[in-house]
Structures are given as structure tokens and as C-alpha cells.
Amino acid sequence: MKKGNWKALLPVAVFLVLYLGLGILFEYGMKIPMGFYNIPIVVCFLIALLVACVQNPKRKFDEKLEIMSKGVGDKNIVTMVLIFMTAGIFVGVVGRSSAESVAYFLLSIIPAQFSVLVLFVVSCFVSLAMGTSVGTITLITPIAIAVSNASGFSAPICVGAVMSGAMFGDNLSFISDTTIAACNGQGCEMKDKFRANFGIALPAAVITLVLIFIKTMGTDVSGTIAKEYSLIQIIPYVLVLIGGIIGINVFIVLLIGIVFGSLIMLATGATAATDLLANMGSGAAGMYETTMVAILVSAICALIQEYGGFDALLSFFRRVFRTKKGGKLGIGLLVGAMDIATANNTVAIVMANPIAKEMAGEYDISPKHTASLLDTFSCIFQGVIPYGAQMLVAISAAAELGCEISAFDIMPNLYYPYVLLIFSLIFIFFAADKNEKY
């Protein structure tokens, strides 16, 4: 191992100061709505990359370019980018109208007193199928407000159920950018990460259902929610979900989803033939920022690693966390700290990936469990921070319907992230090491 060099981590510090500092200024100082998301994160990473290039002037710039190109050209990074694009095309083809169909179908057949449970289950399915927590919250929050108005359940608990379910799917979905980033960053199969992750997420989801039931069972309920729905549009999502679970290559799964999605959307008249290619293009374009972040971070991390920055971090973690269980906790805290700083769980995973991979090798932690820890802890923190996109989108969607609620009204009702944290810690400290297999 090379000698540790803390100065090599300066680009990360520059990014965090720029992004977090400007985010706090915009959001809380200047009161700009969605202030954190008005900051061009790609520009912040470009500045950080420039700082990394300026460092270590004894090395020629061409040599630094070669180091960066090796980092960007890594097989896992290339695979990640391609999956990002294919997943974007899939979402662009199938659209998001089927999410409402799932919700209204279940609300029409399940008694009104279980409406909040339905919101949680629907959000779990939709986010698992779509691979986006923000998209799920955008679609289901208006339904949650309608349920609140019609039934008598409080708006914060309805929205909290939606956000909780959205984070469940974001953590597990095969086409979620967090799953893609974690699996490709650690070099493991998505099905293996899913199975490792499912043992933590499912018990947490079941306990969440119990908590929601206990919280809502004494509420006087009246009214019904009804709207037309088309279940046939759900088929592409189900195919992708099943294909991923049984272990079919993610590219093949997404291509199957794109083909069937195109046929169904055309046959049902949901999309005009002239709009189909445009939707594919817009879906791929929607992944631009995530893709650029992955490329820029891989270039920055290649230079940091070459300069000895990761070795300095590993020396620190070795002193603080002396056991395998401590190493697992360290990985979780690392990505959690990145998420708090960036308010973006995908960016947090991409930034933490190379360090976590070094730590996994140091503490003999399998790739599937490392990927699971990265995805799980990033979703835990992202699901509760009051300035995250998920929270801000939920508040904004509710406000558009005349329901004024704050992040601090919703946070006590976010049962799933809190329970997931408990089960993650149980997994870290009580799971038998004999299950730790490559």
C-alpha cells in the first residue's frame, strides 16, 4: 500500500464545500425552492476535477490524463453507463401512467380503513418496478393527498407511507440507479446483491406495515377513491422485475421490457407511433446528469487513488474499525456521510464506491454485501434528510393540491428508513460470517 496522503482528498473537500455550501445558501439563506437542485452538480465535479489535475505538479498533465482515462475506462464504469442509458430508454418507453393504475386498482378492492397500507404497498411496487423513488413520490403523493382528504387520515402519515415505500423500491430495484451504481462499482451480480439486500429490506417492510396499521387503526374513515385504470400497462414492469429476480442479464431484461413496453403502449394507444422514438430519446437524456457524474467521479477517484488519498482513508478506518463488523459499519457510515453532504444517494454511492471496494478487500467483505451496505445506508439517509429530493418533491406535490405540510411533519411518519437502519445494524453485528461468500 502506498503512503497515505490526506492532501489528495482536497478535490472531494472542494466539491462538498461548493455543493453543500451553495445548497444551504440557496435553500435556507435565499429561500429558493428546491435550492439544492438548482446547483449544477456536474459543474461542481468539473471544478473538483480541475483541482485534482492541478495537484501534484511534478507529474505531467498527459500522465494525469492517462490515469483518468484508465479510471473512466474501467469495465464496471462502462457497464454502469450503458445500463443507465438502457434503463432511461425503458422508462421513456413505458412512461409512468401505470403507477396510478396500480394505486387505483388496489384502492378499489381494499377497504378504506387500510388506505395508508395500500399507499405503502403501491409505492413499494411502483418504485421497485420503475427504479426511481423521486418518480414514485411525484406520482403517488397526489393520490395520498386525495386519500387523506377523502378518508380522514392525516396528510403527513399518508405522504410518509408513500416516501417509505418509494425508498424500499429504490433500495432493491434492478433498474434503480443506486443498485446499478453499487453493483457495478463493487463488481457483483445484481441478483446476488438483491438476495443479500432482500433479507434486510423485507423484514423492515413487514414491520413498517405493522407500525402503519397500529398508527391508523383507530382513525374514523369515510369516503372512497375511484378512478379508471389500465392494468395491461403494468406488464413491462412485471417482466423486468421477474427477469431481474431470476437472474437474467440486466441488458436482456431491459431490452425485453423495451420491446414489450413499446408494443403495449402502441397497442393501447397510450403512445403514438411518431412519439415512441422521441420518448426513448428523452428517457436516455434523463440519465445525462447521472452518467456524467459517474464519469467525472471515476476520473477524480483515479487521481486521488494514484496520489495516495484512499490509502490515507484506509489507514484511518483501520485504526477506528478493527474488525470485519467494524469494517461493514464503516462502509455504511462512509456512504451515509456522503449522502448527507450531497443529498443524492446515487452520487453518494458513486463517490464512496472506490473507497468501499478497498475497505471490502481489507476486511474480507464480499462484493454483494458491500453493494448491499452502500445501497441500503444511502437510502436510509436519503429517505429522511429534510433537504433531499424525495422530501422536497413530496412537499411540493402536496402544496400544489393545497396541502401545506413541512418536512418535520413528515419525518416522524417515515417508519421504513428508521426500521431499515435497525435491521441493517442487526445484519452487521449479528449475521454469521460463514454466510459471507463471494
Q: Print pLDDT tens along the chain (438 aa).
A: 556 788 888 998 898 888 878 888 887 788 777 666 677 888 988 999 999 999 988 889 999 999 999 888 877 778 778 877 888 888 788 766 666 677 777 777 788 788 899 999 989 988 887 777 887 888 888 888 888 888 778 999 999 999 999 999 888 888 788 888 899 889 888 888 988 899 999 999 999 999 999 998 876 666 666 667 777 877 887 887 788 777 777 788 888 888 988 998 888 887 888 888 898 998 888 878 878 888 888 898 889 888 888 788 778 877 888 889 999 999 999 898 888 877 778 878 988 888 899 889 888 999 999 999 999 999 999 999 877 778 878 888 888 888 888 888 899 999 999 999 999 999 998 875 554 543
Looking at residue 437, what is its pLDDT?
Answer: 45
Residue ranges of the alpha helices (H) in 26-132? 41-54, 61-72, 75-94, 97-109, 115-130
Looking at residue 114, what is its pLDDT?
Answer: 87
Look at residues 100, 119, 111, 212 and name the one whose alpha carbon lies nearest to residue 166. Answer: 119
Looking at residue 160, what is its pLDDT?
Answer: 95
Look at residues 123, 127, 165, 186 and name the one whose alpha carbon lies nearest to residue 373. Answer: 186
Question: Domain boundaries in the chain?
Answer: 6-435
End-to-end CA distance of the chain: 23
Look at residues 171, 190, 51, 127 and name the one whose alpha carbon lies nearest to residue 421. Answer: 171
In whole angstroms, what separates CA 98 from the centre of its chain? 21
Q: How many helices (H) and strands (E) does the chain have?
A: 21, 0
Is 251:83 a contact under the CB 8 Å cutoff?
yes
Looking at residue 438, what is its pLDDT?
Answer: 37
Is 292:395 a contact under the CB 8 Å cutoff?
no
Backbone conformation region of residue 187, classed left if phi is above 0, alpha if psi is from -120 to 50, else beta: left
Quick one: which H or E segment has residue 114? none
In terms of C-beta density within 10 A (0-12 exposed, 13-18 middle, 19 or more buried), how is residue 154 classed?
Answer: middle
Cell triple for residue 284? Answer: 436516455
